[in-house]
Amino acid sequence: MLNNKRGGVSISIVLLVIFTLVLVISSLTYFTTRSSGITKNLGNSFILERVNINVEEINFNIQNIVDRSFENSNSKEEFIDNFKLELENYVVDGKFIIPELSQLESQLNSDSVVFSDKGVEVSFEIKVQD
């Protein structure tokens, strides 16, 4: 062993402390910048999940309206009239409970409806709001 007559710390200990500090600081910097990217991805996932839930709710309500409208319909015109009446059940104080349903009435015409004894097929294009 080497004895240090001055009583100072050896150079290897100083280098070990400096490199340890550099490693800790660089690791902390990396993890803090990396976590902001994860937060952005999680935010996008939550937005996408909210839109998917909204789409499922809209599809459920449209299917419900179509089923109820088809029950007492014998023709395409009767179906369209019944559909409009059922759609009015989703209006409260002049506003639709689900705002996207307001897009349906303007798209409902004899071209968008295929009617048969077995069932009915209706096509809509709906813009879902976030």
Cβ atoms of 120 and 83 within 8 Å: the answer is no
DSSP structure class, residue 8:
-
> Of 2-11, 71-80, 83-92, 103-112, which range is least confident?
2-11
pLDDT of 38 reads 63
pLDDT number for residue 6: 62
| Domain-embedded: residue 71 | yes
Q: Is residue 45 part of a domain?
A: yes
Euclidean distance between CA atoms 35 and 54, whole angstroms? 29
How many distinct structural domains can be found in the chain? 1
Residue 129, domain member (yes or no): no
Backbone angles phi, psi at 3, to 5 degrees: -95, 130
Expressed as residue numbers, the domain containing 64 is: 11-122
Q: Is the pTM of this model over 0.75?
A: no
Residues 5-47: pLDDT tens digits?
Answer: 566 778 888 999 999 999 999 999 888 777 666 666 666 778 8
34 in any annotated domain: yes
Which residues are paired to 91 by β-bridges? 96
Cα→Cα distances 60→32, 63, 97, 109, Å: 42, 5, 13, 21
59 domain residue, yes or no: yes
Q: Residue 94: inside a domain, yes or no?
A: yes
Residue 2 in any domain: the answer is no
Under 8 Å between Cβ of 84 and 108: yes
User: Alpha-carbon distance 34 to 127, whole Å?
Assistant: 34
Asked, for residue 4, whether it belongs to a domain, the answer is no
